Chains A and B, each alone.
Chain A
Amino acid sequence: MSTTGVDLGKVWAPGLLLIILVLLATLSLYAPAYTVILATSILMYIVLTVSWAIFSGPTGYISLASAAFFGVGIYTSAILGMALPFPVVVGIGGVASFMVAFLVGALTLRLRGIYFAIFTFGLVELIKHFLLWYEINMTGTRGRFVVVVDNDTIYYAMLTVLVATLLTAYFIRRSRYGLALQSIGEYEEAAAHIGVNVTAVKVITFAISGLFMGAAGAIMATRWTYVDPYIAFNPLLAFMPVLMAIFGGVGGLHGPVLGAAVFAYLEEVLITRFPYYYMLLFGIVLVVVVLYLPNGLVGLIQEWRKRVPGGQHANT
């Protein structure tokens, strides 16, 4: 890559980010209500995907527990929404998910590879079925109503959580701590040998990723007005962050953001245009992405950039 490209990148990247942030922060002033609602969904997916990537990106542990942490946030909001102000509820939702993730992480992070993936998926189903059983047998009702919050507030709450998620993800990557995570992903035994407290690093990172998912869940609950265990613990949301991150490219931070943004928009278009075939198309996209996009959109862009200017020089 040429040096001018790097210099340009250094100047342009923060500027571009600032412009995007200003555009997003003023969205409700110039955009119609529909755009604000759509943007909220997109931001939600970015929060979920980036917080998934905080843990699973560097370590390579495929977590399917996103749906569980998101659902814990949703139920917190449903239970406390009437009693407490909105920001407090969102905070508690995040903390509740943090604690669940901490507990789950401490119990299970010694499982490797596919076992961890199966376990986390089992967790989603376990919580869902337990809540169903509890609601039917103990409270005698299924589902709950959630206090309604207006769309602009939901949007700005989600934007705040997103900024917090991105900043956390960025600083974790840049810190010693991020390096420790990276080394765990590359060779866990070696990481332990050079003095990384493997268990503590994994558990805390897993809990942090749960924190943001829970907060996002607590916010989204107020938009759905009615939730039951099937809505709150939707297995699709266990796979969505994984798919979106892979779609974008798991390596860095921009991959998951790009993947989530593009995919969430695509989802909206597919749902409105082809409501009956949406899930079918989703499956096809999933298979095609796994087959043909091993490094995601970011990998595709990099390859394309490598090929276009001065590509011949690199080869000779």
Chain B
Amino acid sequence: MIVTILDVLIAGLLLGGLYALIAMGLSLQYGVARVLNISHGEFIMLGALTTWTLVTAFDINPLVSLVIVGPVIFAVGFVIHRTLFKRLLASSASPGIFESKSMLASFGLLFIIQNIASIGWGPEIRGYSYLAFPVHLAGAVFGANRLVTLGFATVIGLAFYLFVARTRMGKAIRAAAQDPATAGLMGVNINQVLALCFGLGAAMAGIAGVLISMSYPVHVTMGLEYTIIAIIVVVLGGLGSIPGSFIGGFILGLIGSIVTYIDPGLTLIAYYLIFILLLLVRPTGIMGK
């Protein structure tokens, strides 16, 4: 019994690390740049499938792929914000209008990215084997790849938190999240900061994709499910709160792992129910003001 509980707990932590990373990326994009990015999961898919190609065709270590995918997807996200969302922001009369317009535009991006990827990679489910040997952990058994995933997700999450909390750039990001107009008046290059946030958010999704590809099979249409999970975690943690997203990710991971233990078919339903209850009872989330 105790071993079962441990099993479920550790599996929840492993899942939660990924969720936290994905949600922190979306939290940046929505909390700061005000783009509810429905195409968030597509950057995860791009990261995952690029890694698959690098590993199977070029025999590159997935951890090296992390260093390649991160900056490339950051650049893609940065450029998308500088071209598409900056324009939308300039032409929107109010923040509310920008939110709905940017959500619709990001839905368009979802189709564009997913279908370009599907022309390149096709609809097959892909996977490769990396560190697939078992590790015994307090009586429970896990793949080494999952532990690597958890380790990297936690390290990247913490590094990112420190970046936002301690650096000068991080301060500019927090200022932009609170009040973009005033931040601009105080000398923050607001367009630069928003594009940076969008790029960083996309890069975190891409990195999460690399980590996912180490232990799960990947395919072109995997993105939307992760996007929805990310939205749930962001709302759970409190919009715009990066520690909230980090903690929320682990909470949802644990819940997911408990429900999966009871009936795997109910996992997604449980997520939606939590989400709906949360929106009705406490829409500001656990760390929201």
Give A residues with C-beta under 8 Å from B: 60, 62, 107-108, 111, 113-115, 117-119, 122-123, 125-126, 129-130, 132-133, 136-137, 235, 239, 242-243, 246, 276-277, 279-280, 282-287, 290-291, 294
- Taking a contact as CB atoms under 8 Å apart, the answer to whether A286 and B269 are in contact is no
Q: Could you tell me the distance between the alpha carbons of A285 and B111 in the complex, rounded to whole angstroms?
A: 10
Given A119-B276, A126-B276: A287 and B112 within 8 A (CB)?
A: yes
Q: How many residues of B contact A (CB 8 A)?
A: 39
Given A280-B116, A284-B108, A284-B112, A119-B279 contact (CB < 8 Å): yes
On whether the beta carbons of A242 and B112 are closer than 8 Å, the reply is no
Pair B269/A291 contact, Cβ less than 8 Å? no
B104 touches A (CB below 8 Å): yes
Kindly state whether residue B36 has any CB partner on chain A within 8 Å: yes
Q: Are A287 and B99 in touch, CB under 8 angstroms?
A: no
| Given A62-B100, A114-B103, A133-B269, residue A122 in contact with residue B276 (CB < 8 A) | yes
For B105, the closest partner residue in chain A by CB is: A290
Report whether A279 and B104 are in contact in the complex, using a CB–CB cutoff of 8 Å: no
Contacts of A107 in B (CB 8 A): 280
Q: Choose the segment among B83-91, B141-149, B192-200, B241-249 that binds chain A (4+ C-beta atoms closer than 8 Å).
A: B83-91
Name the prevailing secondary structure of the A interface residues: helix
Closest to B234 in A: A118
Contacts of B235 in A (CB 8 A): 115, 118
Give the secondary structure class of B's interface. Answer: helix
B119 touches A276 (CB 8 A): yes
Question: In this assembly, does B228 line the interface, its C-beta being within 8 Å of a C-beta of chain A?
Answer: yes
Query: Is B272 among interface residues, defined by CB-CB distance under 8 A?
Result: yes
The verdict on A114 contacting B100 (CB below 8 Å), with A125-B268, A291-B88 known, is: yes
Check if B125 is an interface residue, CB within 8 A of chain A: no
Supposing A130-B269, A133-B269 touch, asked if A283 and B108 sit within 8 A by C-beta, the answer is yes
Bound-complex Cα distance A279 to B276 (A): 30
| Complex interface: chain A residues within 8 A of B115 (CB) | 277, 279-280, 283
